[in-house]
Chains A and B, each alone.
Chain A
């Protein structure tokens, strides 16, 4: 009788431990929520601040022009040594991975250095990453207003012709309806952008 009881107890314990282990592994291996953005998300989303700037393609550039597309807005300057080339390269890679959805995405690169970034230079610069990218410049006031509306900082560092600009390096994600949905901090890889863009395209 004792042996039988011991066997039952041992089997019960084994079952409990196995279930606990399996449960732990199941919980631990569950992927992050599929609908959760990898960028920082705004809740509730609000209309993205509109701007009226001059496009590097020679046109008037506004967000309304791209309604129906997911728009990625980045602030930077063409003389940037590291952050801006990395950002635009990342966005170009993300766009190329999107396949047929790539046409539903527009990247806008807004300069924080209008003194040096004229439309021609901007166009050459952004096109080197992806021919669909568009640069944006404008008057000092118009650019300052755009930065203020997005909470972007840009500060001149150094003097002489080789000055730099310390600036916010995040990328803003705007959905097809023109709502500011998220902000991706610098440093994310193309896969994170693809993930979030696809979420916005599905919505």
Chain B
């Protein structure tokens, strides 16, 4: 028994529809502007840090250089019982410091927590439209997952 022509072509149309949707998704990911706050980069001073430092232990909580994207937010949290110079600022116990970066540049902060006395935050520009932006969105998605 032969199917009506429209029934026979339905699977093919579904594949075409799916392909178009995937293509639209790729197009959006590659071309839609990146303008929103995109990512929080959290660093935390864990409880007991002060006691461990007083005991002579060397703790490196913040890296010398932090790489962020435009509109990312550097989040510094002090979960210890003592105030700490953490990156660019002094943070009280239980306090969180949220520093957004709206422009691509290299920011240098005096930071006594580092042996060099300096913390660098490199803020990279928003990815260019096309493959670079698509790849950036893909990595953002996989990072969240």
Contact = CB atoms under 8 A, between A and B. Distances in A.
A40 B91 CA distance: 11
A34 interface: no
A175 to B, nearest CB: 15
Contacts, number: 98
Interface residues of B, number: 40
A72 to B, nearest CB: 15
Contacts of A44: 94-95
Interface string B32-68: 1111110000000000000000000000000000000
Contacts of B37: 32-33, 36
B131 interface: no
Nearest to A9: B13
Contacts of B74: 40
Interface string A160-173: 00000011101000
Contacts of A68: none
A167 B109 CA distance: 10
A9 B12 CA distance: 12
B100 A38 contact: yes
Given A36-B100, A187-B105, A29 B89 contact: no
A41 B33 contact: no
A28 interface: yes
Interface in A139-166: 149-151, 153, 166
Nearest to A41: B98
Contact of B98 (A21, A43, A149, A167): A43
Interface stretch (A12-20, A57-65, A98-106, A127-135): A12-20
18 contacts: A2-B5, A2-B9, A5-B13, A24-B32, A27-B32, A28-B32, A32-B37, A36-B37, A37-B100, A38-B100, A38-B102, A40-B74, A41-B97, A42-B96, A44-B94, A153-B117, A183-B89, A185-B88
Interface of B: 4-6, 9-10, 13, 17, 20-21, 24-25, 28, 32-37, 71, 74, 85, 88-92, 94-100, 102, 105, 107, 109-110, 112, 117
6 nearest CB pairs, A to B: A151-B90, A40-B99, A24-B32, A153-B110, A28-B33, A17-B24
